[in-house]
Homo-oligomer: A and B are copies of this chain.
Amino acid sequence: MKIAIAQIDTTVGDFEGNAAKIAERIKLAETSGADLVVFPELCVTSYPPRDLLEKSYFILKNLEAVERLAKKCNNIAAIVGFVSVNESTTGKGLFNSAAFLYKGKIEFIQHKALLPTYDVFDEARHFEPGTTHKVHKFKGKNIGITICEDVWSTVNIGGRRLYHYDPVEKLVKDGADIIINISASPFHVGKGKIRESLLTSTAKRHNVPIVYTNMVGGNDELIFDGMSIIVNERGELVHEGKRFEEDFFIIDTEALPAAGDLPQLPEVEECWRALVLGIVDYINKCGFKKVVIGLSGGIDSALVAVLAATAIGSANVLGVAMPSPYSSEDSVKDAEALAKNLGISFDIVPISDVYGAYLKSLEKPLGRSADSPITLTEENVQARIRGNILMAISNKTGAIVLSTGNKSELAVGYCTLYGDMAGGLAVISDVPKTMIYELAKYVNRKGEVIPHSTMTKPPSAELRPGQKDTDSLPPYEVLDEILKLYVEERASVQSIVESGFDKKVVDEITKKIDRNEYKRRQASPGFKVTSKAFSAGRIYPIAWKY
């Protein structure tokens, strides 16, 4: 049987656009001689639709789209992910389903049974779980259809399996000749390897080939990396779809390609490509054309500018340097050099006059005088002036502000609400500072794009004379390790200390992480690229006793 894999990028709620894209691939598959074409999970609505699922028109449009698509499937079959209605009057009203389209109609529907409800997933919020799986006979083959989490049943985390039911086991027992999985599995660095390992071991255990079709593209914080996977019944990987772009390919189940070493992406390149894709899709799907970025001369804003220029073109990026009285001499020079290297527009808006006007206006309410020292208050005032200027430029030009804070800062609150946190998209808010350096080196691998002095100067917010990040924080190598243990691996303070860190440092950092949830609650959306991003993936109370 010839199966086409259509790894596509869809937009939430764009029923016309999504259906058109699906119809085009159905036609292509048919003309290419495929028997069946497989699309990702919820490709009709795109993923995640969130509470749009509570709108009746949303469900209706989705059903109509599937009906229309069924009519395109006469001589070819298609499997599409959609939202189906629970006809029972008990339970949630919807299922996350796969429709098997053939002979002009919906021939078979399989509901997803395992609904992920952890980290960024909240599928139990809207969907009733399917209770069983059935094989579907097609051209003499027993097809077992599963949806994303349905193949993750055997995953064992800390000695625990999350689910009581294993759809693959059930389907194989019922005679499935092949397992097809349609997914919307979001990216994080290293996720590809986890998926490969899961699918190869599952195929081997059940002696069944697996065709895994994943979504690609960015939807809000989530980036889907594609990388659809074909595994033979011996558990060998025989083909991988492209990563971070749409793909379309056909495999013949009777003549699968030979197993072989498939290309691996280094982590830094994975992260880079994910961020670029995320920007492209967020900007386009929100309807923006241009972006504006505050350039401090530092490495974070430089990296965001390079990412943005790569994603949407230099002509659509404006960099703005906003020197304060405490900016180093080099900061504007470095920002300007970067802008020149990238070929982006560049502007300088000094903030000293506005800052001076604030200090004067705040003399009475803050009890300040001209020779009062620069404290956190005055630092934040500067950062917020910059936020205001960038937002004014955004309002006037229609460009979206990209904020440039990294995960390490956001974790410990080394950032200013409404200041450097201001913006419509926080591109690198899940990228630890040490990874920022890796990405910057990757950018410069063929020659200087990010200026050398930006790469080598010690990190500084430059909000008071001579300030360095290390005045308030441990070195980023240490901070990022603790952050990874505490946030990604959910290690306890005690176990982090036992793994070799200074207790005082661990206490201080973890307390800062706990205490700064209130800032993160008001952060702009940022792309998830690690196994545990703040925001939807890690929901903490603000008012609690730590």
A residues touching B (Cβ–Cβ < 8 Å)?
A: 11-14, 17, 46, 48-52, 54-57, 89-93, 117-118, 122, 124-125, 159-164, 218-220, 281-282, 285-286, 320, 347, 349-351, 353-354, 356-358, 360-362, 364-367, 375-378, 380-381, 384-385, 387-389, 391-393, 395-396, 417-418, 422, 424, 490, 492-493, 518, 521-525, 538-546
Asked whether A541 and B389 contact (CB < 8 A) given A361-B350, A418-B384, A521-B524, the answer is no
Contact A160 B541 (CB under 8 A): no
Measured CA separation A445–B171 after assembly (Å): 69
- Whole-angstrom CA separation of A274 from B55 in the bound complex: 30
State in angstroms the CA–CA spacing of A347 and B424 once bound together: 33
- Contact between B353 and A357, CB atoms less than 8 A apart: yes
Q: In the bound complex, do residue B545 and residue A11 qualify as a contact, i.e. CB atoms below 8 Å apart? A: yes
* Residue contact A377 to B361, C-beta cutoff 8 Å: no
Q: Which residues of B contact A354 (CB under 8 A)?
A: 354, 357-358, 361
Q: Is A90's CB under 8 angstroms from B353's CB?
A: no
Interface centre among A51, A92, A367, A388 (most CB of B within 10 A): A388
B361–A347 CB distance below 8 A: no
Once the chains are docked, how many angstroms separate the CA of A380 from the CA of B524?
18
Say whether B361 contacts A389, CB under 8 Å.
Answer: yes
| Cross-chain contact A13 with B545 (CB below 8 angstroms) | yes
* 4 tightest A-B CB contacts, nearest first: A12-B544, A418-B418, A285-B543, A14-B545
Residue of B at shortest CB range from A12? B544
Q: 26 A–B contact pairs at CB < 8 A?
A: A46-B544, A52-B544, A55-B492, A57-B492, A90-B162, A91-B161, A91-B162, A117-B122, A118-B125, A122-B122, A219-B541, A220-B543, A285-B544, A347-B365, A349-B361, A353-B357, A353-B360, A354-B357, A362-B392, A367-B396, A377-B392, A377-B396, A380-B395, A381-B388, A384-B388, A384-B418
Instruction: Name the contact of A12 in the complex, choosing from B14, B159, B358, B545 (C-beta under 8 A).
Output: B545
A395 to chain B, nearest CB (A): 4
- Residues of chain B contacted by A12 (CB below 8 angstroms): 541, 543-545
Docked pose: A54 CA to B381 CA in angstroms: 37
Provide the bound-state CA to CA distance between A175 and B301, in Å: 68
Q: Which residues of B contact A422 (CB under 8 A)?
A: 417-418
> Contact between B417 and A52 (Cβ–Cβ < 8 Å)?
no
Q: Provide the residues of chain B in CB contact with A358, threshold 8 Å.
A: 354, 388-389, 392
Question: Which B residues touch A54, using CB under 8 A?
Answer: 490
Partner of A162, one of B92, B387, B544: B92
Contacts A52-B541, A92-B162 known; 13 new A-B pairs at CB < 8 A: A50-B539, A117-B122, A117-B124, A219-B544, A285-B544, A347-B365, A349-B362, A358-B389, A358-B392, A376-B395, A378-B392, A380-B395, A518-B525
Chain B residues positioned under 8 Å from A351 (CB to CB):
361
Report yes or no: A418 in contact with B388, Cβ–Cβ below 8 A: yes
Indicate which residue in B118, B392, B543 contacts A281 across the interface (CB closer than 8 Å): B543
A543 to B354, CA, bound (A): 34
- Contacts A55-B490, A361-B353, A538-B51 given; does A392 touch B381 at CB 8 Å: yes
Judge whether A51 and B543 touch: CB under 8 Å. Answer: no
Report Cα–Cα, A377/B90, bound state, in Å: 51
Shortest distance between the CB of A517 and any CB in chain B (Å): 10
Q: Which residues of B contact A159 (CB under 8 A)?
A: 89
List chain B residues, Cβ under 8 A from A384. 384, 387-388, 391, 418
Q: Is the CB–CB distance between B220 and A286 below 8 Å?
A: no
B220 x A161 contact (CB < 8 A): no
Task: Give the CA-CA distance A545 to B18 in the complex, in Å.
Answer: 11
The CA-CA distance from A17 to B546 in the complex, in Å, is 12
Cα(A378)–Cα(B396), bound, Å? 9
How distant is the Cα of A523 from the Cα of B418 in the complex, in angstroms?
Answer: 11
Most buried by B among A350, A387, A540: A540
A302 CB, nearest partner CB in chain B, Å: 20
By beta carbon, the residue of chain B nearest A418 is B418
A352 to chain B, nearest CB (A): 9
The reply to whether A543 and B219 form a contact with Cβ atoms under 8 Å apart is yes
- Most B CB atoms within 10 A — which of A377, A389, A396, A523? A396
Which residues from chain B contact A349 at a C-beta distance below 8 Å? 361-362, 364-365
